A and B are shown apart, each in its own frame.
Chain A
Amino acid sequence: MSLLTKWLPGLCLPALVFLLSGCRQLVRAPLPENEMSIGAVFGSDADAQQAMAGVYVTMMNNSRAAFNGGISLDAGLSADELYCTQPYAPEDSFQLFKLPPSNMQNTRIFNTIYELVYFLNTMLAGLPGSSGVSAPVKARLEGEVLFNRALLYFYLVNLYGGVPIALTPKYMTNTSLQRASADSVNARVIADLQKAVLLLPEEYISDASDPGARTRPNQAAAKALLARVWLYRGQWDSAEAAAANVIGDPRYQLESDPDSVFLSRSREAIWQLQPVYEDKATADGYAYLKPAPIGRPLYVLTTDLLGSMEAGDERKLHWTHSLVYKGQVLVCPFKYKLLADTGTAMEYEMVLRLAEQYLIRAEARARQGELSGAISDVNVIRARAGLAPTPAMTQTDILDAIAHERRIELFTEWGHRWLDLKRTGQATTVLQTKTGWDPHDSLYPIPAAELLANPGMPQNPGY
């Protein structure tokens, strides 16, 4: 016993020191300085805005992944707009309809869209519970998040069909999500947009680097996208109403000079994305212009598209660019004219613009039998292009005229032509002249990486 009393204090001392300091505290280390915890991100208005900015940066720094020219180029190759002049496997596969599920470019589109969905879902999960973010900012950010998520799912469902709907950032759940039906994806898109319309303010958020820029979506952007989705869903009255709402907004005017449409101060812009690298303009400019000064341009417009342009169309003059390569005239898209950031006349990546709203309303009106209204909307677009009013009189002719106008007005923008052909059931009729076409090609394959990680997920038919 005496032995015990002698050595016990000595043994107890270290244990005491340890216990007094508390186990949890001992091993709590700050996060790396370059990283923020989710709590810190939603700790204040400014930090939460940074998270939103991170989403837009990601949209724009993945050059030609999904946004910043990716969907425009790849869907343009799949449709009858663009062709590639050199054999280049990843993007060639789109125009030849030989798209293996392992295709790198297709995988990038799919992955970056879901990456953005994840970013948005983390915000949606973090925002409501945060006490540091003020109510107006919270509402606005939630609106932006829902709008963006709807846009992402809009492209997913139109490119791939029914896809898994991830609505939370819980990767353990998301990793084994099964494909939803295309209808439920569309329903989610509409629901998100309707909620976004309520949450988003009418005003654009002021941009510190470029006051007056329309680089953050507002209520009109949500309505514009809603108009498009309803058009795609055949809900003509809703589409017409939504488009009319945007057209009636005095903020938006068609630019009379086609060269001004894609500039940063375009009055036609409903929502634009700002390039994020100091020395770079939009990836569209880069994709179509880069090889131009020397040698052969890589992506050129199809003769079919060029042939369908009417004589005297200002858009042909201003939005295309001819080059002679080895005695052959090659015509490239020229909507975006800057290869690099010149610092003066900036071009922003146009996501939503007023011209499309006119064409949406025209089509919705034509479908509902409001032919004169439809004609006047088409003629607004034609007038800006320096063309005479359309001669179309019957509903069928008017719808054809609208389809033609959409093709010319919106070429190489965001896969409009590819999606139009599919939604109007024209894909096979138009594309069967291209080698390799098979109706199953209207949907791109789910990337192999996803099927590997999520066994049991069905692939699209034909792949």
Chain B
Amino acid sequence: MRKFVFAVLLLSGELTIAQRQVRPDATCLIPDVIKKVEKRGYFITSLDFFKGLPRVDIREPMDAPVDRLLKDLLRGLNLRAWISDTDRTITFGRLYPSSSSRFTELRCRVVNEKGQPMPDATVMGGRSIVLTDKDGWFHIPVQSFETRVQITVTGYGALSISLSNREVDTIALTPAAKGLDRVIVNAFGVTTQRLNTGSVFNVQGSDIRDVPSGHVLDGLAARVPGFYDRVPNGVPGTAHITTLGGQHSIVSGNRIYWLLDGVPLAADGSFNPIETGTAQGMNGAGSLNFIPADIVGSVSLLKDASATTIYGSRASTGVVLITLKAGKPGSVLHWGANFNMGVGRALHTSRMIGTTQFLQMRTEAVNNDGYTADISRVPELKWDKNRQVDYQHFTTGGTARIANGSLTLSGGSPHVFFLTSASLHRETTVFPGSTSDERRSLYGNLHVQSGHDRLELILSALYTWEGNHLPIDDYTGDQRLAPNAPPFYNAVGQPQWSGQSLSFLNIPALGGNEYFGNFYTLVGHMKLSYQLGKHISIEQNLGYNGILTNERALQPLSGQAPGGQSPLAAGIITQQGNQYTSTIVQTISRWVGQVGPGMLTGLLGVERQGRVTSSSAQMSSYITDAQMYSNLGATKNSGSGNQLYYRYAAAFARVDYDVSNRYLLTASWRRDGSSRFGPGNQYGNFWAVGLGWIFSEESFLHENSILSYGKVRASMGTTGNDQIGDGQYAETYSAASSNRGYSGMQGVVPVTLANTHLQWELNYREEVALELGFFDNKIQFSVAASRNQSANQMIYKSVGPVAGLPGVLSNEPIKVINEALEFVLETNLVSTKQWCWTSAATLTIPRNVLQSWPGLDNSQYASTYVPGHSLSVIKGYHLIGVDPGTGNYVFKTAVAGGAPGLQDMVPIAGTDPRFYAGWSNRLKFGNWELDLLIDWRRQNGFNPLLVLGRDNAPGRQAPSQLSNGPVEWLDHWRNPGDHAKQQRLTTTPGSGTDSAWLNYLQSDAWTIDASFIRCKSFDIFYSLPCKVTKKLGLRTCKVYISAQNLWTHSHFPITDPETQDPKALPPLRTVVGGIKINF
């Protein structure tokens, strides 16, 4: 979509108007007129044009429309104004008199939408390629009056225009807001979709900002091809599970490399979990929560080698660059405010079985084994058979309240400008009690430029505090409590844990087991750049990210079953503190200039990184709850701590060569050193090349009415992976595990076998892509095919017991392939003043294959990986179904009717997505705007029936009487001839039915279809008409309703197909209403 909006001023007739008389006694002072215009809400740049022109005659009345008033004001002056109604700015530019010879050089000035000069714009015309100077001027020797020139500035789109050397023109460019020529951030610089040779996908901050959760990842999901995001539960603040381009590495982690304004984040993805766990599940709190969605300017996701090689051995999975908003040069202070509030409820899950059917199931299971169902075998019969409680009320049935607020202030002079923002997010949970997740952030960005714009300084800092108050456990699984369990409180209001001497789980009492998490994050970034000469600039970056976590879990006696799991019968406080710091120092020099027929951009840089992770954990026991809450008289304390160091150094270079915006070449190289490898293996080289051909610029297609843009690009290269623990290459000793030690000494023991040959995993990536634009880029389509081979995989290789330790981390010639086809279709078919419809659809078809693993059969991984299949494929029995005669599960066996054994193991379908797609729509009608995002995934997921079954088989008594199950359990075999999905019930271990059950747990019933289509977000905005906003003194005002997870279609049983865990809280359906004001 060639939707770059440019405003070109070609002055023809007006130029010849004679200089207007400017008299000192004229009626109006120009600044007065300007002030009047400013009062109408316009922002005016480039006022310095009016120096020495104090008074003019104005014919128009002062309340005339602005365009007429300005036209009148500039009458006869060699000045021109252009007015942008979209962002209400007025820019002035100067006009120059014409010349006469056709050999006179062509002179022109390039300015931006604010009328500021644009230095370093590439201008091609005649036989020359030049760059504009610091005032935006360029001069080209020409041999005709009319010359076609092409002007290219990153982010503004290539502009091709005929200029006359008899006139001096000012060309004003307006930045492309969308589409091919919008600025996107890539590695160590910016580019555009048009000129990029690698796989860089950019998401605008405006798409992310409106997410009710305020979570950046929620704004990326379903918008980016190749980016797979899964929430493990609906608890606020939970770490997402994300992959970019699939699973490359078998055991060494597949974490994305996150950079915030160029600063590597100190904790990627999640934190060290606290020992007690939290309701957020095993992944704990997300370490990206601290970035308020409000201040995100854009997010770039880099996947292929051409884009990521320059990040070296940390870029194996891909790189995500988050750029925060910055201020814009200007002289007026802008205030912005955004507030919204709303509610959230857990998505629908299966109903639990009612009392009558529950007791019938329990009885049936006992009867099936040939026993009488009395209270010794079905103890729940002791309880009131007519009582039925729906435990959802006590577990996940609440309503979460969500509130977001942010204030932004920006402004400054053309040389010093800033943006500062404060945001607040608070949400409660659907769990009972006063649980919540709260975030407060402060952000500031300051931009300082020297008068000649040679020196530039950017300072930014983001500080966030996040406070979590959550239960220690997710209550969702507790809904399985027998529906006729006695009341949680006895007649005198005391909590009870048993009735009729049968103990049960007291769900409300669990509320006493609380978790408090405090997370403090600071990100600071400084960039200092200096333009050394016409071609060369040098840049220094300093970055810091510090995260301090302080987590505390309280487990009072009142929250534990009496005489239960705790052997000490004590109240316990568990505390954990983590400190993550990451620093980066980077020096980059750039060279830009013409070399041969094209423009060369060269980049050379060096960087050092350091990361320190400290952790400490402490556990204290108390005899009484009172002592625990007052933190007095701990009977037992135990603690541990550790500190990890990671250092990193690299030199890198990149060359971009662009011939006529048609032929593009990118080559990059990086030499990397990581402290995670032993001496001699620390340094390695990575390289990539990318090629692009914009064939639509060729003469045979130029100005084709249908095909407006066409590019093929291809890239190949290498990236690395060093995501192993620190110090793994060395032979190291660690404290022996015992709490008394030996003869007064703690003792140390060897913990790792030294592997000094350890080196990074290497990925070879190849990608080819075709990008097309039709009908003036109203329709844009791209398809990319990529292949990634990860070799030299680091795995824990068993060396056999005789060697002493179980295994050693070693590089093995194992190959994992990730292939993907990615499609993107963007349309902008309707764009009138009244109506506007844009949409973007993405589709990703990934394929993950374990290509080869020499010696797999003789390793400890023999049953967990299957060559020729995805890494998520494991081996198990093939379930045929339930035998209508016996009622037992039947499996495919080599010997008919025999028990399934090792030889009957078949690959079980993996949980990789078969494809995933997103479709986002934005429809504008007058003052109304409607946004819709659909998320569609075809995939297999873990069978929740089987997951529940691992805890407790249907019909069997479970500890704490969590014996109930979802209504799906009712579909089981009862009598000979029944065709049921689940087998007959049994309570006896060792029976034939029981061994069929155990085989079932190891069968291909493990995964089932978990496809879904979900309305991920749905927003309606209404902008107040200009008349109203003017009256209120506002620039813009929008009211809106925003909804998440409004609707889901899936055949997945029991729980949500995304979380897939029947014991985890499903995602929430949230609706918020809010207002956005700018003034």
Q: Which residues of A does B touch, CB under 8 Å?
A: 3, 6-7, 9-11, 13-15, 17-18, 21, 23-24, 26-38, 40-41, 47, 49-58, 60-61, 107, 110-111, 114-115, 117-119, 121-122, 163-164, 166, 169, 171, 174-175, 177, 205, 207-210, 213, 215-216, 274-278, 447, 449-450, 452-455
* Smallest CB separation, B43 vs chain A (Å): 37
* Smallest CB separation, B303 vs chain A (Å): 27
Residue of A nearest to B643 (CB): A33
Q: Which residues of A contact B859 (CB under 8 A)?
A: 452
In the bound complex, CA of A9 to CA of B798 (Å) = 52
Beyond known contacts A51-B747, A453-B803: 5 more, CB 8 A cutoff: A7-B533, A29-B727, A51-B749, A174-B799, A278-B739
Q: Is the CB of A208 within 8 A of B733?
A: no
B800 touches A (CB below 8 Å)? yes
Q: Which residues of A contact B605 (CB under 8 A)?
A: 14
Which stretch, B56-64, B646-654, B1026-1034, touches the partner chain A? B646-654
- Of B608, B674, B803, the residue contacting A118 (CB under 8 A) is B803
Which stretch, B205-213, B583-591, B698-706, touches the partner chain A? B583-591
In the bound complex, CA of A150 to CA of B1058 (Å) = 57
Q: Which residues of B contact A50 (CB under 8 A)?
A: 745-748
Residue of A nearest to B732 (CB): A35
In the bound complex, CA of A49 to CA of B744 (Å) = 11
Q: Which residues of B contact A215 (CB under 8 A)?
A: 742-743
Pick 18 A–B contacts, CB within 8 A, sort by A: A6-B532, A9-B532, A10-B532, A10-B591, A11-B604, A23-B649, A31-B732, A33-B641, A36-B734, A61-B736, A111-B806, A114-B801, A171-B808, A209-B740, A210-B744, A276-B740, A449-B860, A454-B802
Q: Which residues of A contact B744 (CB under 8 A)?
A: 207-210
In the bound complex, CA of A28 to CA of B726 (Å) = 11
- Of A24, A163, A171, the residue contacting B804 (CB under 8 A) is A171
Q: Is the CB of B591 within 8 A of A11?
A: yes
* Smallest CB separation, A225 vs chain B (Å): 20
- Of B532, B602, B604, B645, the residue contacting A32 (CB under 8 A) is B645
* Smallest CB separation, B604 vs chain A (Å): 5
Q: Is the CB of A6 within 8 A of B536?
A: yes
Q: Is the CB of B674 within 8 A of A27?
A: yes
A60-B804 in contact given A18-B606, A34-B642 (Cβ < 8 Å): no
**Residue among B739, B750, B806, B808 with most chain A CB within 10 A:** B750
Which stretch, B675-683, B909-917, B951-959, touches the partner chain A? B675-683
In the bound complex, CA of A78 to CA of B644 (Å) = 47
* Smallest CB separation, B12 vs chain A (Å): 39
Q: Which residues of B contact A34 (CB under 8 A)?
A: 641-643, 734-735
A10-B589 in contact given A36-B732, A274-B743 (Cβ < 8 Å): yes
- Of A3, A40, A205, A453, the residue contacting B800 (CB under 8 A) is A453
In the bound complex, CA of A207 to CA of B587 (Å) = 57
Q: Is the CB of A26 within 8 A of B649?
A: yes
Q: B604-644 vs A: 1/0 string, CB under 8 Å?
A: 11101000001000000000000000000000000001111
Q: Is the CB of B647 within 8 A of A27?
A: yes
Q: Is the CB of B589 within 8 A of A13?
A: yes
* Smallest CB separation, B541 vs chain A (Å): 11
B538 touches A (CB below 8 Å)? yes
Enumerate the 8 nearest inter-chain pairs by beta-carbon distance, A residue then B residue, closest first. Answer: A118-B804, A453-B800, A208-B744, A29-B675, A53-B747, A26-B649, A276-B738, A33-B643
* B interface, size bucket: 35 or more
* Smallest CB separation, A68 vs chain B (Å): 11
Residue of B nearest to A7 (CB): B536
Q: Which residues of A contact B798 (CB under 8 A)?
A: 449, 452-453
**Residue among A14, A21, A41 with most chain B CB within 10 A:** A14
A-B Cβ contacts below 8 A, count: 260
In the bound complex, CA of A115 to CA of B730 (Å) = 18
Q: Is the CB of B642 within 8 A of A33?
A: yes
B673 touches A (CB below 8 Å)? yes
Q: Is the CB of B738 within 8 A of A29?
A: no
Q: Is the CB of B536 within 8 A of A10?
A: yes
Residue of A nearest to B649 (CB): A26
Q: Which residues of B contact A35 (CB under 8 A)?
A: 727, 732-734, 751-752
Q: Which residues of B contact A177 (CB under 8 A)?
A: 802
Residue of B nearest to A27 (CB): B673
Q: Is the CB of B799 within 8 A of A175?
A: yes
Which chain B residues (161-206) contact chain A, with CB distance < 8 Å? none
Which chain B residues (825-870) contact chain A, with CB distance < 8 Å? 858-860
Q: Which residues of B contact A169 (CB under 8 A)?
A: 731, 750, 804
* Smallest CB separation, B588 vs chain A (Å): 7
Residue of A nearest to B636 (CB): A278
**Residue among B673, B747, B804, B858 with most chain A CB within 10 A:** B804
Q: Is the CB of B731 within 8 A of A14?
A: no
* Smallest CB separation, B643 vs chain A (Å): 4
- Of A3, A54, A117, A274, the residue contacting B593 (CB under 8 A) is A3
Q: Is the CB of A14 within 8 A of B588?
A: yes
Q: B800-822 vs A: 1/0 string, CB under 8 Å?
A: 11111110100000000000000
Q: Which residues of B contact A115 (CB under 8 A)?
A: 801, 804-805
A7-B740 in contact given A15-B606, A453-B800 (Cβ < 8 Å): no
B296 touches A (CB below 8 Å)? no
* Smallest CB separation, A420 vs chain B (Å): 27
Q: Which residues of B contact A54 (CB under 8 A)?
A: 733, 736, 742, 747-749
Q: Is the CB of A277 within 8 A of B740?
A: yes
A37-B730 in contact given A14-B589, A57-B741 (Cβ < 8 Å): yes
Q: Which residues of A contact B800 (CB under 8 A)?
A: 174-175, 449-450, 452-454
* Smallest CB separation, B1033 vs chain A (Å): 49
Q: Which residues of A contact B591 (CB under 8 A)?
A: 7, 10-11
Q: Is the CB of A114 within 8 A of B804?
A: yes
* Smallest CB separation, B942 vs chain A (Å): 28
Residue of A nearest to B567 (CB): A279
Residue of A nearest to B683 (CB): A23
* Smallest CB separation, A44 vs chain B (Å): 12
* Smallest CB separation, A209 vs chain B (Å): 4
Q: Is the CB of B645 within 8 A of A36?
A: no
**Residue among B674, B735, B860 with most chain A CB within 10 A:** B735
**Residue among B604, B645, B648, B803 with most chain A CB within 10 A:** B803
Q: Which residues of A contact B608 (CB under 8 A)?
A: 21, 26
Q: Is the CB of B801 within 8 A of A447?
A: yes
A276-B741 in contact given A10-B536, A29-B646, A34-B642 (Cβ < 8 Å): yes
A122-B675 in contact given A447-B801, A453-B798 (Cβ < 8 Å): no
In the bound complex, CA of A193 to CA of B674 (Å) = 45
Q: Is the CB of B748 within 8 A of A28?
A: no
Q: Is the CB of A114 within 8 A of B743?
A: no
Q: Is the CB of A32 within 8 A of B804?
A: no
Q: Is the CB of B643 within 8 A of A114?
A: no
Q: Is the CB of B740 within 8 A of A17?
A: no
B737 touches A (CB below 8 Å)? yes
Q: Which residues of A contact B40 (CB under 8 A)?
A: none
Residue of A nearest to B751 (CB): A35
Q: Which residues of A contact B802 (CB under 8 A)?
A: 114, 163-164, 166, 174-175, 177, 450, 454
Q: Is the CB of B641 within 8 A of A38?
A: no
In the bound complex, CA of A34 to CA of B726 (Å) = 11
* Smallest CB separation, B623 vs chain A (Å): 16
- Of A23, A117, A274, the residue contacting B742 (CB under 8 A) is A274
B535 touches A (CB below 8 Å)? yes
Q: Is the CB of B736 within 8 A of A58?
A: yes
B1041 touches A (CB below 8 Å)? no
Q: B703-738 vs A: 1/0 string, CB under 8 Å?
A: 000000000000000000000011100111111111
Q: B132-144 vs A: 1/0 string, CB under 8 Å?
A: 0000000000000
Residue of A nearest to B530 (CB): A10
**Residue among B683, B725, B801 with most chain A CB within 10 A:** B801
* Smallest CB separation, B603 vs chain A (Å): 10
Q: Is the CB of A13 within 8 A of B538?
A: yes
Q: Which residues of B contact A18 (CB under 8 A)?
A: 606, 649, 651
* Smallest CB separation, B104 vs chain A (Å): 27
